[in-house]
Amino acid sequence: MRLAALDALSIDGVRPSATDLQVFREEGDEIVEGALWANGSWFRIEHGVLDLLGAPLASAERRAAFAARHTLPSAPRPGQGTTTDLTRKGEQVEFFKEDAPRYDRDVSLRSFYVASDRISYGDWIGSVSGRFICDIGSGSGRLTIPMAERGLTVVSIDISEEMLLIGRRRAAEAGLLARTTFILGDAERLPLQSGVFDAATCYGALHHVPDPAAVIAEAGRILRDGGRWMSYDPHRSTVRFIFDWTMRVRTLYQELANGNPLISRDDVLRWCRNARIDPEIKLHFFLPPHLLNLMSADAAERWLRISDSVCNAVGLRSFAGVIVVSGTKRQECQ
């Protein structure tokens, strides 16, 4: 955890400072192992990841082992940072314990997803002014790493410690630890201050959470006025059954979606407007990933851009497989 990231934290309304840190190992300005104290409780920093996930989702075993190693009080972790639907969130935590090692192989590094990222994220990032970004539901760093490579400072937050550890390792290998902070936390109740981020993303994660409206509301809260937003998720397409059938024939990856496995235009427009984010909707990708994964990423990108242009022009928007939302947080009316 980077020391500078303390300025963005809010833990149960408390804004911690460097004096609240108990450091066991540090490298430069990064705390690799330590404890952050707030409200009379301590929060684990291990392998460079700050654990702000509330009980009962936080790992009691890891907390107990950490407490024993550093002679810290063994009291249970407070229940900060969680909302009511704990069963579904617990299922996500357990799923990604198993899926994390193969996620990049099955998803992020395949031609379709590399190409779709270039189109969706690549077309959006140029609109961002400012340098402080929150990557919500960041997983293994699919956007965290390229954003840090652009010189941006990124707070990467996810419910899966296994995925965050992969993201941090990738950041270390790329020499990007000075620009990245990894936090274990709940997207529906971010342990972050209001109005401090220049941009926020939730890339491929809204369909994993029980309450996507709450995630977008939190994004609106932490963004400054004029801050930029982007999300990317499966679209509630009228021909979704074709993709579902191809996945039954040949599974590309394992998936555990949540209560909203497909995102509709009307829903996401309402969620964004309620969060004071003025949204722009783009519907992308009319060709099956199974086909595009047989090509190079460059070829897949060309075909995706061509099919996007044609299908949107001839009125086939409802067939799109992905819904991408970009937006700007508007000022509150006085």
* Residues 30 and 173 occupy one common structural domain: no
Q: Which residues of 213-234 are buried (b: 16+ CB within 10 A; e: fewer)?
A: bbbbbbbbbbbbeebbbbbbbb
* Residues 177 and 290 occupy one common structural domain: yes
**Alpha-carbon distances of 260 from 88, 159, 212, 233, rounded to whole Å:** 12, 17, 8, 10
Q: Output the pTM of the full model.
A: 0.93
76, part of any domain: no
CA 320: distance to chain centroid? 22
Widest pairwise Cα distance in the chain: 66
Predicted local confidence at residue 76, as pLDDT: 66
pLDDT tens for each residue of 214-253: 999 999 999 999 999 999 999 999 998 888 888 888 888 7
78, part of any domain: no
How far apart are the C-alpha atoms of 213 and 40, rounded to whole Å? 32
Domain boundary residue among 70, 98, 124? 70
161, part of any domain: yes
* Residues 20 and 167 occupy one common structural domain: no
CATH of residue 137's domain is 3.40.50.150
User: 53-62, 264-273, 294-303 — which is least confidently predicted?
Assistant: 53-62
Predicted local confidence at residue 334, as pLDDT: 56
200, part of any domain: yes
66, part of any domain: yes
How far apart are the C-alpha atoms of 290 and 243, rounded to whole Å? 9
Q: At 180, is the pLDDT very low, low, confident or very high (cuts 50, 70, 90)?
A: very high
Domain boundary residue among 22, 37, 70? 70
* Residues 221 and 319 occupy one common structural domain: yes
* Residues 64 and 129 occupy one common structural domain: no
* Number of domains forming the structure of the chain: 2
The fraction of the chain above a pLDDT of 70, given in percent, is 96
* Residues 56 and 144 occupy one common structural domain: no
* Residues 306 and 190 occupy one common structural domain: yes
Name the residue with higher pLDDT: 129 or 284.
284
Structural domain range at position 32? 3-70
**Cβ–Cβ < 8 Å for 198, 224:** yes
Q: At 81, is the pLDDT very low, low, confident or very high (cuts 50, 70, 90)?
A: very low
79, part of any domain: no
* Residues 133 and 260 occupy one common structural domain: yes
Domain boundary residue among 70, 95, 114? 70
What does pLDDT average to over the chain? 92
* Residues 45 and 100 occupy one common structural domain: no
* 68-87: average pLDDT: 73
